[in-house]
Amino acid sequence: MSSRTRLYELLYSYVEQYDDAVNTFEEFAALWCEGRDPQEVAALLGADLTSVHEAALADVAEIPGLHYLDGVILAGRAGAWTLTIQKTGPYLVDDETLMRLSQGGRRALSVSWNIGGNEDLSYAVDGCLIVRFSFAFPDIEGRTGQDVTALDPLMEGLRFGLGEDDYSGEECISSAFTLAGRVTGQEIDAAWLDASHEQFVIPHTR
């Protein structure tokens, strides 16, 4: 496993077990929220809290009555933060969601991409979007938020930007998750991915 792509390869080794066999890893979303427990995060994301059950990321159990537009998330503690990974369903991560989760003096961060060409890292503090940028095209001119260079001091040694010195998409994704670990103080790892967390369904009618 290359050190430049190690977090991408780690996640891919789990996600490929439940993702579409043809379009593996074309969409993904991970969300960290400081100071909220998994149930609180799930509720703010619109989950049906009665749908909760324990599961690990690699579990592919059939969920009775699941609509194809329903979302499925996995939420668990990661230090002082809750890490939520979207397993299936429509794309859930947006700026409004991140700002809502960060209200009350909290912080929230997301790493996500989809087949629409969005490869974003977003960071919010106390209800305000601080910065959102594409980790594939991270030029300052393309960033949005109140302080678009807020995370730059934590980016040393990271490889963002397709076409920059032959950086690959896998390196950009791995760098995004490394940056998330530097912000939250706990990098995503096999121990979290192997453990059971709380799985919720987000009804499409939310």
Rounded to whole angstroms, the Cα distance separating 23 from 181 reads 27
pLDDT surpasses 90 at 115: no
Task: Tell me what percent of the residues of the chain surpass a pLDDT of 70.
Answer: 86
Rounded to whole angstroms, the Cα distance separating 202 from 46 reads 6
Query: What is the reported pLDDT for 186?
Result: 94
Query: What is the reported pLDDT for 175?
Result: 92
Average of per-residue pLDDT across 15-33: 71
- What is the number of other CB atoms lying within 10 angstroms of the CB of residue 156? 7
pLDDT tens for 83-107 read 999 887 766 788 999 999 999 999 9
pLDDT surpasses 70 at 22: no
pLDDT surpasses 70 at 3: yes
Q: Are 198 and 85 in contact (CB under 8 A)?
A: no
Q: What is the pTM of this model?
A: 0.89
> For residues 73-83, b (16+ Cβ closer than 10 Å) or e, as one string?
bbbbebeebbb
Greater pLDDT, 197 or 136: 197
User: What is the pLDDT of the chain when averaged over all its residues?
Assistant: 87
Give the amino acid at 5: T
Q: How confident is the model at residue 19 (pLDDT cuts 50, 70, 90)?
A: low
Query: What is the reported pLDDT for 132?
Result: 94
pLDDT tens for 126-177 read 999 999 998 888 888 889 999 999 999 999 888 887 555 666 778 888 999 9
Query: What is the reported pLDDT for 152?
Result: 92
For residue 185, is it left (φ>0), alpha (ψ between -120 and 50) or beta?
A: left
For residue 191, is it left (φ>0), alpha (ψ between -120 and 50) or beta?
A: alpha
